[in-house]
Amino acid sequence: MSKPIRIATRRSQLALWQAEHVKGLLAAAHPGLVVELVPMTTQGDRVQDRALAEVGGKGLFVKELEVAISAGRADLAVHSMKDMPAELPPGFVLAAITAREDPRDALVSTRYGALADMPAGAAVGTSSLRRSAQIMERHPQLVVRVLRGNVDTRLAKLDRGEYEAVVLAAAGLIRLGLEHRIRARLSPEESLPAPGQGALGIECLEARADVRALLAPLADRTSALCVRAERAVSRALGGSCTLPLGAYAQWAQDRLSLRSLVASADGRRVLRASAQGDDPEAVGAAAAESLRAQGADDVLRGLR
């Protein structure tokens, strides 16, 4: 292409890393291609004093990047898939999902190596209803408090002693060179990840066949199959990425194995379901139907 390809990105350190990563992948796949970043500050970045669920959800990190694409100020955007709403706006498409990093949640603490080691009343910080519900289910003696901000801000609050521990996505810490801060990687049995956690998605206009062709070599088939199954659970149950909903799929021997859960905000009611198959949308829909049969709709209505 004669014109540079422009990537809309949030200004946070992690978002910029992700955009630079995709820039590097594009440059490797298409030697000579000029790729530029278009950094932006979104509403999700500006509102830091309230939980995301109270101010519109993680879609606040996505919407303004999509506006920039629609207006022609950018050609594509890079997102953490766990931040993506289950339904895209008309005219947009996920052109590629790249190879997934570690999808697990991670415990970071200056004092404790496991949630089970923490004393009653100790404060754990997280911005996620999904994480907080699972922590409260298994460790009701702990106090879960809202923690917002970028990764550096969250770690600084931990280091100042405002929390005894924080739970973050392992992938973000790894990508920022902060893997050494991880005290424990929480197994899916202890903390089921969010749909798409650890994966990057690249969004563009559906009509931009030229951009989609450039992005095609970046797609990772296995990661995409797993993420599609996970997102199908979320879509079937309401589509909000702020719900206390976990979904994690693995692909082996040409078959998907999917685990999912829905929880009440206080962790007192947690519903779990699994499904297997080779079609990601069908597997996700089956897991969602099993959750619904257990009362998922009632649990989720209680959150609204």
Report the 10 Å Cβ neighbour count for 295: 13
152 catalytically annotated: no
Helices 13-29 and 151-159, packing angle to 10 deg? 140
All residues at 6 or more sequence positions from 268 whose CB lies less than 8 Å from its CB, including other chains:
136, 137
What Cα–Cα distance (Å) separates residue 8 from each residue in 74, 75, 87, 170, 238?
6, 7, 19, 24, 27
All residues at 6 or more sequence positions from 73 whose CB lies less than 8 Å from its CB, including other chains:
6, 8, 38
* Active-site annotation holder among 83, 105, 117, 278: 83
CA 276 – CA 231 distance, rounded (Å): 15
Query: b vs e for 93-123, b when ≥16 Cβ sit within 10 Å of the residue's Cβ?
Result: bbbbbbebbbbbbbbbbeebeebeebeeebb
Helices 280-293 and 221-236, packing angle to 10 deg? 30
Residues taking part in catalysis: 83
